[in-house]
Every structure is written in structure tokens, then in C-alpha cells.
Amino acid sequence: GHKGYARLYSYPVVKEYKNLWNVPNLMLQKAPADNFVATIKLDFKPTTKYKGERTGLVVMGFSYAGLVLENTNDGIVLSQLECKNADKGTAEQINETTKLKNGAIYLRVEFKAGKKKLKESEGGSDVLAMCKFSYSLDGKKFKSMGNEFQAKEGMWIGTKVGTFCTRPAITINDGGWSEVDWFRITKK
């Protein structure tokens, strides 16, 4: 691997997989502010042995959304997807897809909170935060993708953002990986 990169090997999901809610190998952090941008630079290297390996950038809570790269019969496909009520076992819904030449990509989500409060909470008030997704092949020009998503809190704490790398329920230890160069939180 590349020195200084975090290599996430694809981890098999359970045979009964419905969505990312019960996947244990999500690398997430709590949303640090109401308004911020999270960007990840990664290189997806799926195995050629089987299809269905995935990696990406996800905004996780009771409902989630993200930009996901998947190894398919047509090559690597980038999708913007969402899963409403993930904790209840609902399936993911794909909002937009595009084919990629390879797995080297920058993925971004922009959190924007308005003044509207959803409810009072222990730490003050939960605000309505909307997320917009985009991607770039060069790190300079980002293209919007998919639908806006209303961030939702999770079981114990608020919304989280981060990455993952999974594969279908194939337990032979010969899967691919995602090499993460960096993950950054910025004001804009």
C-alpha cells in the first residue's frame, strides 16, 4: 500500500444484509458543527474475483445517505443513495449513478443548517441540517450528485460522517480494499 494511507479491506456483510445500519465496520465521526464540509480522497481497489464490493462517504443516522462506489459487471459505478428508516431494515434507494474509469476519487458532503429547530434536546436544540453530495476526479472541480438529504440523528448521538469498505457475504479472505489518502472537515 501507499505509505501514510489508511487501507480499509472489504469486510463481508451478513447474508441477511439489508443496509448499513447493522454493519460494524463503519469508520465514522460525530458531525462537528451545524455547517461544514467533509471531503475524502480515496482509491478503491476491488478484487476482480467477485462483484459487490463497496466503499464511499456516508452520512449515518437512523436514516442515511452517501456516495458509494461499487464493483459491478459494468466496472466501478458511483451512486448517490439514501436509506430512510435504516434502523427498521428498509432497503437503500439509488438516486443517481455514473460509471467511473477507475476508483481514484474525491467525495464530498456539505452540511448546511438553517435556523429551523427540529426539537429540544439535552445539549440545546437539534437543528435541521441538509446535506448536498458531490464528487471530483481531480480534487478541484466538484460535480453535484443525487438528492439533498436531511441529516438524522443516530441511536446514542447525533449524525455521524465517515467511510466504510464492504463486500457481499463472502468470507474467503481475498477481497479488495479502499485506500484513504485523507479525510478532512472544513468550514467550506
Domain with residue 91: its CATH number is 2.60.120.200
Residue 178 lies in a domain: yes
pLDDT at 126: 67
- Please tell me the predicted confidence (pLDDT) of residue 116: 62
Would you say residue 143 has pLDDT above 60? yes
pTM of this structure: 0.92
Is residue 119 domain-resident?
Answer: yes
Domain that holds residue 51: 6-186
Q: What is the pLDDT of residue 77?
A: 98
pLDDT, tens only, 19-56: 999 999 999 999 999 899 999 999 999 998 889 999 99
- Identify whether 100 is part of a domain: yes
Flag whether 72 is in a domain. Answer: yes
pLDDT in tens, 55-96: 999 999 999 999 999 999 999 999 999 999 999 999 999 999
Q: Is residue 1 part of a domain?
A: no
What's the one-letter identity of residue 167?
R
Number of domains observed in the structure of the chain:
1
CA distance 169 to 175: 11
Q: Is the pLDDT of residue 187 over 60?
A: yes
Instruction: Judge whether 122 lies within some domain.
Output: yes
Q: Rounded distance, CA 57 to CA 27, Å?
A: 10
Q: What is the DSSP letter of 90?
A: P
Angle 38-44-39 (CA atoms, 0-180°, nearest 5)? 10
Q: Does residue 60 fall inside a structural domain?
A: yes
